[in-house]
Amino acid sequence: YAWDANEEYLFKAMMAFAMRRYSSKSTTQISNVLLCNVTDRVSFWFVVTDSSKNVTTVPGSEVEAAIRMNRNRINSAFLLSDKTLQFLKITSTISPPVEPSTPVWLIVFGVVLCLIVAGIVFLIFSGIQKHKKKNKEATERENLEEKVEVTLENGIPCEALDLKTGRINGVFAADDERFTSL
Amino acid sequence: LSAAAEIPKEDGRPQWDNKFQYLLSCIGFAVGLGNVWRFPYLCQIHGGGAFLIPYFIALLFEGIPLLHLELALGQCLRKGSIGAWNTISPYLGGIGVGSWVVSILVSLYYNTVLTWVMWYFINSFQEPLPWSVCPLNENRTGFNEECYESTAVNYFWYRKTLNITPDIAESGTLQWWLILCLATCWAIVYLCTIRGIETTGKAIYVTAIFPYLVLTIFLIQGLTLPGATEGLIYLFTPNLNTLKNPRVWLDAATQIFFSLSLAFGGLIAFASYNPTKNDCEKDAVTVAIVNSMTSLYASIPVFSVLGFKATTAYWDCLDRNIISIINEFDLPEESIMRQNYTSWISFLNSSYPEKISVLKLKSCDLQEFLDQSVSGTGLAFIVFTQAIILMPGSQAWAILFFIMLFSLGLSSMFGNIEGVFTPLLELQIIPKSAPKELLSGIICLISFLIALCFTLGSGSYWIDIFDRYAASVPLLVIAFFEVIGVMYIYKIKRFSKDVEWMTGRKLSIYWQITWRFMSPLLLLIVFLAFVTLQMQKPPSYTAWNPKYEGFPMKEEKVYPPWVQAICVLLAALPCVCVPLVALFHLVKQKRRSKDPSFVLPEVFSCQGANS
């Protein structure tokens, strides 16, 4: 926006406002703020007069303190910041950077660590389970092999002997009689 | 260890799930942090596009042949580095042991670099980024002095991350935040390498492909930034005069060699899990070309961002000067813009020279800002982080960037750990009934405990030492002995027959010439040149000392004698393994030859065992 007489009026109003708030006496008027040496750069000198005390100027330290107290309001009135609206001889105090109660990085770190530990535990458990399954399979296979060996060693296939009814030995059961006749 | 053990077809050796996994693992191992932060730097200081000429010549005569040699060796012998060299000849077993020692040393310090990346990653979730603002001093009147004199980015790196001591002899204390991150990094490595290639094979799909995605995103973003074109022009403008400097050729040869991660034993381990009938020749060429292309591809976004940073710094410099001129002469706002700055300055200089000289304006030169070249950790943690602050949406860019660096480093770590893990598995350090998870757990735990030294205040100085001495000269020596050993002890005729059996075609004359003459010759020249250059001046380092007069410049210091002794030890330890093991076997042989029952080991042949 361009700097014109209306902006100057606003500036005077802000200065009066700042003086009123600081010294809490409602006597400062806009007419008490005087601007001089306005340049194209938009830089100027200004003084605040005190109408109650015979047109003397308010000491610079008081004006400085008033501006310091209300810097925020002055800045926002002009949509400017400490850097773009400079009061020479008033250095701005730097606001401390916002620090959350727990550092953010610890939270992220905790999340990452939990995920990794969960992954490791899962992999170890699945490894142990696979190991157990392999062992079980190995022992089952061994048992099967033993059975096969045993049956082979005897020369007679065991499945034949597995019948519940048993086998009739042809030598001894020549006739159909199973029981000796009296 | 006699070679009479004929390898049966079903030897229960783990296998890659598919060929793509194997190729990705090799590519991931080769493509590491150096592709991002060393290659662009070399391109820049050695005449831009002209550097590509010695680079590709070195690739052709040194990189690809050595890579093919290692892959063919591992695939044929189906063993890790120690086992493979023992099989070729017990006298050459020292080469395998040397590779194994180098892999251990590199794993230790490489994971600490990843620790720093992780620390930056978990700090990227804050708004504003912690390296963009200086903290206040105690009484809140101004900024912290160390930070104010250097930059916020430097302060965060040297003080908040490393908490660096001014001298390597002062160890400082263990930094607890780094210990936490180190533990996390080793836990991640353990998670991925827990069962050897069964688990790394799955993890590599993510860690090897993700960096390419991020590089593409950064490429697109980088090209849209203002000043990117200046950076790219600066990078790629060829200056053929630099080729007359032998230093350029040396740097090209060493860059190719270290970039392909040769002589670590990791490539031999990866190839040993392949089926023997696999075209290792095509694999080698593929991996080498992808590695070089990645380096080129990565340098484009890196230099776009660096150009952007230089342009922004140049504009800031101009703006500061403009503000002081406007304030001094009370000119209206926006009367002097960046475009007409030079004309205004010449006008004002002629009309009001005294006023101008009072202002003490800094001369702003874009070339000067572009010339500030950095490589290594400085590039990632200082220069790039500063550039990221200037980009819109800096948290997202920071997170992406550091995840990319982490994946790049992690896939290289897989290769390093595999180079340690596979030989130990074959030497059967732990009983066969014990699970593999135990061995990888032990390796990760011991490495973590030893790497705690790097979290001390002087840790980063030690990492520089490890990088310069343990991971440079020994690799050259081991690679030289590898080529000589295969060509002249195993004999080229046998080896070419093995390779022909594996690939199914005749070995072309290119391989014969490079393996027999060019590569050993090149390696010898590079080794001699390297050592001579190192010897020319006493080994020194630059220290970050806030009390130094020239602060924020780093102070140049010489290593104390005990540190120099450690440097020599680090460089010599892997190299000395080669003759030591040969000597050991010579003595054993002499003793055995007195024993009548001694049997000569059978001649081993790759195809004979497998046909």
Enumerate the domain spans of chain A.
5-78, 99-129
CA distance to partner chain B, nearest, from residue A41 (Å): 4
Report the percent of chain B where pLDDT is more than 70: 95
Find the mean pLDDT for residues B472-487. 90
Q: Which residue has the tokens 């090149």?
A: B522
- Dig out the tokens for A35 from the structure: 């601007």
Least confident of B7-16, B46-55, B61-70, B420-429: B7-16
Out of B140, B188, B435, name the one closest to residue A116 (CB). Answer: B188
So what's the pLDDT on residue B3? 42
Q: Which residues in B lie closer than 8 A to residue A42 (C-beta atoms)?
A: 332-333
So what's the pLDDT on residue B5? 40
Out of A104, A116, A127, name the one closest to residue B437 (CB). Answer: A127
Is the CB of A113 less than 8 angstroms away from the CB of B123? no
Find the mean pLDDT for residues B48-55. 89
Establish if B137 touches chain A: CB-CB under 8 angstroms: no
pLDDT band at B291 (very low <50, low <70, confident <90, very high): very high
So what's the pLDDT on residue B7? 42
Least confident of A58-67, B454-463, B488-497, B562-571: A58-67
CA distance to partner chain A, nearest, from residue B121 (Å): 9
Distance CA B478, CA B495 (A): 19
Q: Which residue has the tokens 């922004």?
A: B312
Distance CA B338, CA B87 (A): 70
Q: Which residues in B lie closer than 8 A to residue A127 (C-beta atoms)?
A: 194-195, 435, 437
pTM of the model: 0.83
pLDDT in tens, B231-278: 888 888 888 888 888 888 888 988 898 899 999 999 999 999 988 888
Residue A48, amino acid: V
CA distance to partner chain A, nearest, from residue B220 (Å): 28
pLDDT band at B128 (very low <50, low <70, confident <90, very high): confident
Total residue count of chain A as it appears in this document: 182
Q: Which residue has the tokens 């002629």?
A: B350
Residue B314 predicted with pLDDT over 50: yes
Establish if A123 touches chain B: CB-CB under 8 angstroms: yes
Query: Left (φ > 0), alpha (ψ -120 to 50) or beta: where does B227 sit?
Result: left
Establish whether B31 is an annotated binding residue: yes
Distance CA B249, CA B139 (A): 55
CA distance to partner chain A, nearest, from residue B369 (Å): 26
Find the mean pLDDT for residues B7-19. 72
pLDDT band at B323 (very low <50, low <70, confident <90, very high): confident
A to B CB pairs, distance under 8 Å: 67
Residue B207 predicted with pLDDT over 80: yes
pLDDT band at B59 (very low <50, low <70, confident <90, very high): very high
Residue B26 predicted with pLDDT over 90: yes
Establish whether B597 is an annotated binding residue: no
So what's the pLDDT on residue B403? 94
Establish if A117 touches chain B: CB-CB under 8 angstroms: yes
B58-593 has CATH 1.20.1740 classification? yes
CA distance to partner chain B, nearest, from residue A122 (Å): 10
pLDDT less than 50: residues of chain A? none
Is the CB of A123 less than 8 angstroms away from the CB of B199? yes
Establish whether B274 is an annotated binding residue: no
Establish whether B408 is an annotated binding residue: yes
Is the CB of A96 less than 8 angstroms away from the CB of B140? yes
Least confident of B254-258, B352-356, B396-400, B487-491: B352-356
Least confident of A36-40, B38-42, B168-172, B432-436: A36-40
Q: Which residue has the tokens 């004006």?
A: A63
Q: Which residues in B lie closer than 8 A to residue A112 (C-beta atoms)?
A: 122, 184
Distance CA B43, CA B40 (A): 5
Out of B136, B187, B330, name the one closest to residue A117 (CB). Answer: B187
Establish whether B35 is an annotated binding residue: yes
Establish whether B28 is an annotated binding residue: yes
pLDDT in tens, B154-191: 889 998 899 988 888 888 889 999 999 999 999 999 99
Residue B9 predicted with pLDDT over 50: no
pLDDT band at B366 (very low <50, low <70, confident <90, very high): confident
| CB contact residues (below 8 A), chain A span 35-94, against chain B | 39-43, 93-94
3-class DSSP assignment, residue A49: strand
CA distance to partner chain A, nearest, from residue B516 (Å): 46
Cβ-Cβ contacts under 8 Å for B249 (sequence gap 6 or more): B54, B58, B243
So what's the pLDDT on residue A174? 56
Find the mean pLDDT for residues B320-334. 78
Whether the CA torsion B162, B168, B172, B174 is positive or negative: it is: positive
